[in-house]
């Protein structure tokens, strides 16, 4: 039973154990048992991902008959050795939470690997959160296959097609994370009357059975706009024009020019005027939260950071990673009850734009 490409090691071990009629913990101990004592930290009941040190990985390859090099290709979490494990003193394994966002794999795509008793869990990477073949946004639920049908959300599918093309460019992941932070700053200003977001929110609530308040923080809502902004941020001709404007007329003029371009790209031509009049809400009352202006300062600096350095954001700029943290900005009702509703619909986990972190705070 080979792993599915991108699968969590813990997911694969659970499936192998199920096929042998064993608990996953017993399977690991059996595979790693030998002349030395086996150290296994945690249990499959407390965490989803299984981490193995080098001796344990070698034993696993020998047990399955799959070359270790192939296991490394298929299982992103298999190596290198987790910081809390050591390659000394024999085989070691541990169950910890995944360090990256994961989703339930599309059942039709995973074929015979899929089972109602043990869904296949995978790391979606930069663009694997949507199955274009079956038109579904994949969600994170360790108990069952969960996804959102996108047949009534063609703009999300179209955005994913553009995202796939964008992902082939250098620095695309950083541009997408920054664009998501920029769009998030607009969401946090509570654009209740925004037609496109209202339509997507209603559609997602209908598709999932979740309340509109519960779906408001999901990445799908602003995904098309984030992709559009990322495309613009990555455009070298546009970057050059912004630098020329900043050189001749100053940073404020470049920011106005950028906002006008972004507004037309995301079908909100009023954006520049609106943001000029309403620069920040009370929740975003510090200048460092203006991620677009921060990026413009880097772009128009005499020494423009090379390559991916252009996208290295300070921690205070990015979109909140936790679903509950985003909900606290978007609703006035009690977050605990709303997030419970979202969790029951499998909306609280899954793909997130991952920022390239800047080492400094400025």
Tens-digit pLDDT profile for residues 17-41: 999 999 999 999 999 986 567 889 9
What pTM was computed for the model?
0.91
Average pLDDT, the chain: 90
Which helix H or strand E contains 41, and what residues bound it? Answer: strand 39-41
Verify cis geometry, omega within 30 degrees of 0, for the bond prior to 80: yes
C-alpha dist (Å) from residue 169 to 101, 155, 234, 247 = 22, 22, 8, 27
With beta carbons less than 8 A apart as the criterion, state whether 77 and 49 touch: yes
Question: Angle at Cα 182 formed by Cα 121 and Cα 330, nearest 5°?
Answer: 70
- Could you tell me where the DSSP H helices lie in 103-153? 107-110
User: Sheet holding 49-52: strands in order across?
Assistant: 39-41, 92-96, 49-52
Share of the chain above pLDDT 90, in %: 75
- Taking only the tens place, the pLDDT of each residue in 114-156 is 888 889 999 999 999 999 999 999 999 999 999 999 999 999 9
With beta carbons less than 8 A apart as the criterion, state whether 221 and 330 touch: no
Q: What is the DSSP string of 154-204?
A: HHHHHHHHHHHHHTTSTTHHHHHHHHHHHHHHHHTT--TT-HHHHHHHHHH
In whole angstroms, give the CA distance from residue 85 to residue 65: 24
């Amino acid at each position: 039973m080979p792993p599915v490409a991108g699968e969590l090691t813990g997911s694969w071990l659970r499936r192998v154990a199920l096929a042998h009629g064993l608990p996953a913990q017993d399977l690991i101990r059996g595979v790693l048992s030998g002349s030395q004592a086996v150290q296994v930290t945690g249990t499959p009941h407390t965490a989803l991902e299984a981490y193995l040190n080098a001796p344990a990985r070698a034993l696993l390859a020998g047990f399955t008959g799959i070359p270790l090099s192939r296991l490394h290709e298929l299982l992103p979490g298999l190596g290198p050795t987790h910081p809390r494990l050591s390659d000394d003193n024999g085989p070691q394994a541990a169950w910890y939470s995944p360090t990256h966002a994961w989703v339930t794999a599309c059942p039709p795509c995973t074929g015979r690997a899929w089972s109602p008793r043990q869904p296949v869990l995978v790391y979606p990477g930069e663009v694997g959160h949507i199955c274009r073949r079956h038109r579904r946004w994949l969600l994170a639920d360790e108990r069952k296959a969960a996804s959102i049908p996108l047949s009534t959300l063609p703009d999300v599918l179209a955005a994913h097609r553009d995202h796939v093309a964008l992902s082939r460019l250098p620095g695309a992941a950083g541009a997408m994370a920054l664009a998501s932070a920029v769009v998030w700053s607009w969401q946090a200003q509570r654009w209740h009357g925004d037609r496109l977001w209202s339509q997507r929110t209603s559609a997602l609530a209908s598709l999932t059975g979740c309340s509109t308040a519960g779906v408001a923080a999901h990445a799908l809502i602003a995904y098309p706009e984030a992709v559009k902004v990322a495309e613009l941020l990555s455009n070298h001709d546009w970057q050059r024009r912004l630098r020329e404007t900043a050189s001749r007329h100053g940073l404020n003029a470049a920011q106005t020019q950028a906002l006008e371009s972004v507004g037309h790209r995301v079908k909100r031509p009023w954006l520049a005027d609106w943001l000029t009049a309403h620069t920040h809400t009370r929740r975003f009352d510090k200048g460092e939260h203006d991620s677009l202006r921060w990026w413009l300062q880097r772009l128009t600096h005499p020494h423009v950071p090379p390559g991916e350095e252009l996208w290295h954001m300070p921690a205070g700029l990015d979109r909140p990673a936790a679903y509950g943290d985003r909900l606290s900005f978007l609703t006035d009702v009690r977050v605990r009850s709303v997030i419970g509703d979202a969790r029951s619909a499998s909306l609280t986990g899954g793909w997130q734009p991952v920022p390239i972190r800047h080492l400094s705070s400025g």
